[in-house]
Structure 1
Amino acid sequence: MKVLLSLIGNYQGAGILNFQTQEAAKDFALQLANTVYTYGLDGIDFDDEYAGYPKTGNIKNPASFTMLLQELKAAMPDKLITLYDYSDAFGAPIPTIYLTSGADRAGNYINYAYNGLYGTYMTQMSTAVPPLTKSKLGAAAFNVQSTCTATINTQSTRTKTDGYGVIVWYDLRQGDASAKISTSTNNLYGEATTLSGQTYAWTSGVTCEPPIGLDAINLAGTFATLSWTGDSTKTYNIDYKLANLSNWISAATNYSGSGLSINNLTANTEYD
């Protein structure tokens, strides 16, 4: 089992197609890689269906996604990158114009890509993310709660016959869905799916938002100042660490304000 962090837009006109420069793409890629390594995840999944393009000031750049993937693969070469291939403006899949940057292709950095429209069988996935072959692509996608058994049966059989290597399942909840999933696995592997062990309900955690405008200023050898746009309704936990280590050092807890100085740093050394 692999666990990936999936990124999705929020109808604000901002998404993976907005990066205008390699520098901006790299900055975001480093944030993603830092999150993956900090929490021990297996990679990043991109889903652009709710980006909300276009908006004034958020111009789409055909090279944007490929630039982001170039930087992300460089930052986490041992992790997975997948694409839930559903475009918010054009339907699925994302137009190939947004999957290239010059002679380079987004597909050179993606491990798997798949149809995200549940209950459909998208034959155009076979060529949607070049140069990925069918073994790395998925044409079928199922909603555990709403896709009917007949559709699951037909499209699972077709997935195997057509040589696709991926099927998407969505909305797996606390209950026992093994009978429905067995409809697929019996066709794919000749084996039923069984449920064993305890099931767990989802619970809401504590909301923890990163500060806006976080920056490191006044860098002076062994000293730096962290600054951000303060919010009087929030307090902040501030931690830092050497970039090549996993242990975080607490600088402040439940801190109110918009800046904090960090001392006793090692000169010429990268920190998170």
Structure 2
Amino acid sequence: MNSIPKISAPLIVFALGCLMPGCKTDNELRSEDKTLKPLIVKDSSYQHVGYVKVNAGRITEINKFQFELSNEESKKYLPEQFFDIAIVFESAKILPAKSPKLRGETNPDAGDYVLAYKEWEASKLFSPSAAAIKRSDLYTSDGKQIDDPAQRHNDPGRYSLTMNDELKLDISALKKAGKIVLMDIMPDHEDAGWNSFNTQQQAKKFALQVNEAINKYGWDGIDIDEEYAQYRKGPNFGSITRVLFELKNIWKEEDYRHPGKRLIIAKALFTDYDDFAKPVNMDGKDVMMADLLTYGWEMSYGGDPGYRLTDYLNQFGMQKYQLGLGIDFNINSTETGVATAQYVKDNKLKFVMYYDVRVSDSSKYQAVSNVFYSRRLQVTP
């Protein structure tokens, strides 16, 4: 005689329970969650831009800054997030094509300069795809290989032309949360930088590399940070304008990849008057850098806010809706951060930019947030 399988008591309770009115299956609950919309508590006149450090931790920590909901609100809404734009600091570098840091990975068609990615030894802590970094792959920032572990200083790391897998996932997570995510590109103590491109051919070859990275990793655009270059013959002013002009042309030609989407081009503004002051003639037209930029955030982190953007507004053709001021809580006090934010609000600028976003500074972000919003800012686990 066939035996009837026994059903345990807990399973019976579950089975009967799901027949009760109002019971929702897991799929129904997930579907219900998707219908929740963020409770909008921010003033859309302002945007908050956070620089997050790649390879210092998961950049998705920027998603932890949210506005608090009451118990009743949490039943109907999702919390709105504080940051609107995430810039992944040092996500890419400009290096000479024959740099010893590149381990022979240079594309021969790339030109004299390449877009390279840097992995720190510390990234092994959270990035399994970077765990293959070997001691022989480590260099000091001046390109010398490290033989003695005690010499590992000054951001030792491995350069390559391939980004780690975890960062690509994090970019996607930030975008799903509604953020614009920008690739920060900067020099690295070599004879190479944003002001290296003195011909249109050089500029286009580098712009092609930038565009390839945007398409491959899902960036919404780029952030230009012209620091640390050591030009042997001096910078070529007009170089940045050339690259941006070529990048925008490439983007237009590839509109089928991103119909209706705008390429975001932002710049860290600091000691760059010569880049803005003169037009560059391309395709028979005089082009100013201000005409090619979407946004700019001034990053001197000190002094009277009233003077920090004067030339950009009065001489270089930038508009208030393109501009913002930076705060760095590594060097700025909470009071300075609040004063900077108040200036942005009072003068109808668009942005506050925060360098090196850290959860441990949550009380300082709350103080700045209070300038704009009455809602409490919380940091989720």
Q: Which TM-score applies when normalising by structure 2?
A: 0.46
Partner of 1:5: 183
**Retained in 1: the 8 A contact 2:183–2:222?**
yes
Aligned partner of 1:79 in structure 2 is 263
Deviates more, 1:146-155 or 1:70-79: 70-79
* Structure 1 position 21, deviation (Å): 0.9
Aligned-residue offset at 1:97: 5.2
Which of the numbers 103, 106, 112 marks the counterpart of 2:289?
Answer: 106
**Aligned position for 1:116:** 299
Q: CA deviation at 1:188?
A: 2.5
Question: Which residue of structure 2 lines up, in the alignment, with residue 68 of structure 1?
Answer: 243
Q: Which SS does the other structure have where 1:142 is aligned?
A: strand
Runs of 4+ in 1 over 3 A off after TM superposition: 96-99, 189-192
1:26-175 equivalences in 2 (<5 Å): 26-53=204-231, 55-56=232-233, 59-77=234-252, 78-86=262-270, 92-96=271-275, 100-102=279-281, 103-120=286-303, 121=305, 123-128=307-312, 130-138=316-324, 140-173=325-358, 175=359
Q: 1:95 to 1:189 in 2, by over 3 A?
A: farther
The Cα of 1:14 is off from its aligned counterpart by 1.5
- Residues 150 and 124 of structure 1: CA distance in aligned 2, closer, same or farther (over 3 Å): closer
Q: Look up the SS of the partner of 1:95 in the other structure.
A: helix
Task: Check conservation: 1:182, 1:192, Cα contact below 8 A.
Answer: yes
Provide, for residues 124-154 of structure 1, a one-character-per-residue CA deviation record: whole Å limited to 9, x for no partner: 424327322012112x321133321111111
RMSD of the TM alignment (CA)?
A: 2.1
Supply the distance in 2 between the matched residues of 1:123 and 1:189 (Cα, whole angstroms): 26
Question: 1:10 Cα deviation (Å)?
Answer: 1.2
The code of the aligned residue for 2:280 comes to: S
Q: How far is the alpha carbon of 1:5 from its aligned partner?
A: 0.8
What SS is found at the alignment partner of 1:3?
strand
Residues 206-232 of structure 1 show CA distances to partners (whole Å, capped at 9, x for unaligned) of: xxxxxxxxxxxxxxxxxxxxxxxxxxx
1:118 is aligned with what amino acid?
Y
Report 1 or 2 for greater relative contact order, CA contacts < 8 Å, sequence distance ≥ 6. 2
Change (3 A) 1:70 1:84: same
Counterpart of 2:198 in structure 1: which amino acid?
Q
Change (3 A) 1:189 1:73: farther
Structure 2 portions without partners, runs of 5+: 1-178, 253-261
Higher alpha-carbon deviation: 126-135 or 92-101: 92-101
1:179 aligns with 2:363: yes
Are the aligned partners of 1:62 and 1:98 in contact in 2 as well (CA < 8 Å)?
no
Q: Which amino acid aligns with 2:248?
A: K
Q: Percent identity between the aligned chains?
A: 26
Deviation digits for residues 22-61 of structure 1, max 9, x if unmatched?
Answer: 11101100100100110011111100021123x14xx432
Could you tell me which runs of 5 or more consecutive residues in structure 1 were left unpaired when the two chains were aligned: 87-91, 199-272
2:334 maps to amino acid? T
Alignment TM-score, normalising by the size of structure 1: 0.63
Contact 1:6–1:44 (8 Å) recurs in 2: yes
